[in-house]
A and B are shown apart, each in its own frame.
Chain A
């Protein structure tokens, strides 16, 4: 069990590390376009569009990493009044809502992404008209990773709530 959980953790960790280098691509595409446009008066048709695709993937795929490291902002004025175990008990009640949201996101994201693939949707209006399905499919991918990570957290929380001991 503990091995499975740590495998899930490292999937989130490494998907985050992998995606973190996208920010350099973003900077490069945009700079390249500024330089070409300003110095050579020759703007590209693809730079901004490609930056958008990369940003979409970057934004949504940073979610599992943030979940692993507990970076999602919570309002903890009341929450912090409880003991560690008390907080775990509260989390047990709220976690199903998380699964509802991410589950729906996975299902509908997959549906929308598959449709974009079948209908060969492209970015419009755009001279380059790049396909939309790769970036749309990052939504269900991210949702899937979040579900995995959420499941791992939930198992730990349940353990802490019921036994008062942390799963090590």
Chain B
């Protein structure tokens, strides 16, 4: 019989952190410390240092700062602006084209950076004002940026998938491969929605007037902006899928690729490099300290026997539909409050053993998890990215506009989550083919 009190103390600590705005990294670690101190005695306290040291010696995690650096270098070399200049001309003449182009650019930026906020903030600043000026209605201009930006969780190389792979001890290569098909399905569904909507309501998303279009020759010239970032991401994924390099090494290849593309764009200089390095260090520090805190938290959670208790509870349902229903509801509720890294760190160790015991693949669960977190990010009223959007959008865009604009995309996300849940082969097809 597990005792309930230690678990309640841990969870109470977490709630305390949510209410007081105490940084997640310190909330997780200090609730673990207090629980340990009360119930297991001070002799257990060295766990603080040993757990953190365990996180520091993870080969898999080295990929994280490298991918972040790759994205920062690409970003500083003006990739987003170049991409947008191309899409503006290539898709602008089509009704709803700018919205579609935004989804595609967000997907590419998401692939590069693996961090949701990058795409939302960049595109919110570049694309939104242009779309609004072009006469796009708010409801069809805002949604694509948010929905496209959230794809960063799923489309490889994704930082969250790396963290998931470390916790679940599954191959990062397989996870990356698994993310591709659902990512493409989502992009396709978003594009289809925009196309249908702008066909039905032409005045919501007017095509670019003739006098603003450029000749075809110039379009080819602008396409240059598309080649470099795709080549870099292609090189990264190619080396992983071909088995030449581990994901960590492929991340180093990506950094080299980003440097080369900055060189080609003539934007490689000392200031840019040091700014990119400092930015990556800040982001890595933030993520790593959450991992440190979460490592302390989960190690104490296991000690309280909370894991067994939840596993017993779930398996007690005996019906897979109920079990998955329960897990999804818990994840959706947590998703309103927690960032994705914390969520992976504290829910995966709890749920994964149950999933595996039921005979499902951890790779599939990882992809389901990310698709679901994406949906959380977009769901009103608390979705994370919605607030970032409000932060960068022009003042005439209200929170209500953002909510109305995102709803159709949330429904598409939900449909894809259910689709993945019902047909695991969709996810597993590519990883099984490649590895």
Which residues in A have some Cβ–Cβ distance to B below 8 Å? 16-17, 19-21, 23-24, 26-31, 33-34, 38, 48, 51-52, 55-56, 58-60, 62-63, 65-66, 69, 71-80, 87, 90, 93-94, 97-98, 100-101, 104-105, 108-109, 111-112, 135-136, 139
Contacts and interface: CB of A to CB of B under 8 A. Distances in A.
B21 A75 contact: yes
A112 B46 contact: yes
B282 to A, nearest CB: 5
A94 B22 contact: yes
A90 B282 contact: no
Interface string B53-70: 101110101100110010
A55 B26 contact: no
B228 interface: no
Interface residues of B, number: 60
B161 to A, nearest CB: 18
Contacts of B284: 23, 58-59, 62
B277 interface: yes
Given A34-B252, A101-B29, A105-B52, A23 B20 contact: no
B371 to A, nearest CB: 22
B45 interface: yes
A69 B282 contact: yes
Nearest to B336: A77
B66 A97 contact: no
Contacts of B29: 101
B281 interface: yes
Contact of B62 (A26, A93, A108, A136): A26
A104 B256 contact: no
A102 to B, nearest CB: 8
B124 to A, nearest CB: 20
B286 interface: yes
Contacts of B338: 75
Given A21-B277, A112-B46, 10 more contacts: A20-B278, A23-B69, A26-B65, A27-B251, A28-B252, A62-B286, A66-B289, A71-B283, A72-B23, A73-B341
A93 B45 CA distance: 23
A24 B341 CA distance: 24
Given A71-B286, A97-B26, A101-B33, A108 B46 contact: yes
A21 B26 CA distance: 26
Contact of A75 (B49, B281, B282, B337): B337
B281 A139 contact: no
Given A78-B18, A108-B46, A65 B288 contact: no
Contact of A31 (B30, B52, B252, B342): B252
